[in-house]
């Protein structure tokens, strides 16, 4: 027993030595910027202080409570995140179910399906900005040819329509990413479960509801977690398509932080915005992890 304990202690120390460089690197790459943002958020550093940090305690956070533009950007970000993640999960699951079937050219279809996600977001944003252009856009051209409209719609010039446009573009780009994540979960389910269920007289819908859906919940939660963090921090797509307009209708938190820091040079308040956004993401991760730990596991993959 003593020798076994000694061997385990030695293995743990050896593992710790190998992990230590990676931990130090992560602390340097991620830990320092986070700690720096927390520290800077306690200071006022803007043009009013001649860019010199002046300790102000929680003033930046108190200012945030009454900042209507912050709450508007937070609401816009929330709406954008909830709608895009919901549709990307539903569409991604549908595409994953199709790609999980056996058919001729399946490998080629899988490759083509991931292309929208692989393309640069700024390029995609530029393309969709032209597609929704009120004078030369393909969307208006199709609607005019079908006789559904008589004049071109200013998609990116109306608040609600601009929001719909950026949401549609994000769903188009990122749904393939969701489908690949969910496809990996589908392929982890043993075909024997479906065969046994079919022998018992179950329909395909019953198999999906009673086998596929419960066992793929962990992958759905993980995919939602990834997409929530990405959607909540969306920046380049909206900058290229609308620039946050019209009238701030599509200004998300990341764009507001960028304007605060880079345009108005309000570093202290910008750091406070970063801290609050970071804490919101941590809370979302904690909630998702709670449900992930309570979700069922795939047989044979415990």
Chain centroid to CA 248: 21
Burial state string for 22-56 with b = 16 or more CB within 10 A and e = fewer than 16 = eeeeeeeeeeeeeeebeebbbbbbbeeeeeeeeeb
* 31-38, long-range: CB < 8 A, 24+ apart: 34/278, 36/271, 37/271, 37/274, 37/275, 37/278, 38/271, 38/275
Residue 110: both structure tokens together = 């899988």
Return the domain boundaries, the chain.
67-265
pLDDT at 3: 63
pLDDT at 301: 42
* 122-131, long-range: CB < 8 A, 24+ apart: 122/236, 122/237, 122/240, 124/169, 124/172, 124/173, 124/237, 125/169, 125/236, 125/237, 125/238, 125/239, 125/240, 125/241, 126/240, 128/165, 128/168, 128/169, 128/172, 128/241, 129/156, 129/240, 129/241
> What's the CATH number of domain 67-265, 1.20.1290.10, 3.50.50.60, 1.10.3720.10, 3.40.50.620?
1.10.3720.10
Strands 43-44 and 54-55: antiparallel
pTM for this model (two decimals): 0.85
pLDDT at 302: 40
- Reading the chain (302 residues) residue by residue, the pLDDT tens digits are 556 667 777 777 777 787 888 878 877 887 888 888 999 999 998 888 888 889 998 999 999 999 999 999 999 999 999 999 999 999 999 999 888 887 787 778 888 888 888 888 989 999 999 999 988 889 999 999 998 888 888 999 999 999 999 999 999 999 998 998 898 888 888 888 877 878 877 777 888 888 888 888 888 888 888 888 888 889 999 999 999 988 889 999 999 999 999 989 999 999 999 999 889 888 877 887 777 676 554 443 44
């Amino acid at each position: 027993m003593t020798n076994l304990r000694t061997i385990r202690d030695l293995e743990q120390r050896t593992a710790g030595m190998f992990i230590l460089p990676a931990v130090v690197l992560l602390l340097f790459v991620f830990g320092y910027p986070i700690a720096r943002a927390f520290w800077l958020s306690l200071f006022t550093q803007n043009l009013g202080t001649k860019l010199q940090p002046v300790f102000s305690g929680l003033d930046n956070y108190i200012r945030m409570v009454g900042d209507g533009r912050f709450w508007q950007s937070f609401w816009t970000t929330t709406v954008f995140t909830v709608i895009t993640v919901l549709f990307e999960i539903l569409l991604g699951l549908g595409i994953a179910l199709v790609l999980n079937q056996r058919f001729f050219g399946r490998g080629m279809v899988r490759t083509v399906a991931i292309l929208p996600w692989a393309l640069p977001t700024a390029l995609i944003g530029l393309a969709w900005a032209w597609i929704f252009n009120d004078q030369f856009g393909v969307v208006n051209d199709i609607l005019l040819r079908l006789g559904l409209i008589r004049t071109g719609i200013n998609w990116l010039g109306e608040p609600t329509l601009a929001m719909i446009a950026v949401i549609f573009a994000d769903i188009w780009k990122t749904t393939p990413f969701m489908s690949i994540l969910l496809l990996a979960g589908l392929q982890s389910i043993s075909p024997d479960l479906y065969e046994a269920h079919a022998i018992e007289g179950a329909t395909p819908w019953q198999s999906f509801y009673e086998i596929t859906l419960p066992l793929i919940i962990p992958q759905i939660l993980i995919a939602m977690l990834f997409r929530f963090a990405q959607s909540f921090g969306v920046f380049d797509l909206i900058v290229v398509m609308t620039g946050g307009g019209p009238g701030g209708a599509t200004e998300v938190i990341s764009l507001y932080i960028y304007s605060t820091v880079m345009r108005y040079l309000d570093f202290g308040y910008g750091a406070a915005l970063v801290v609050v956004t970071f804490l919101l993401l941590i809370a979302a991760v904690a909630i998702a992890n709670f449900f992930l730990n309570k979700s069922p596991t795939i047989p044979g993959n415990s």
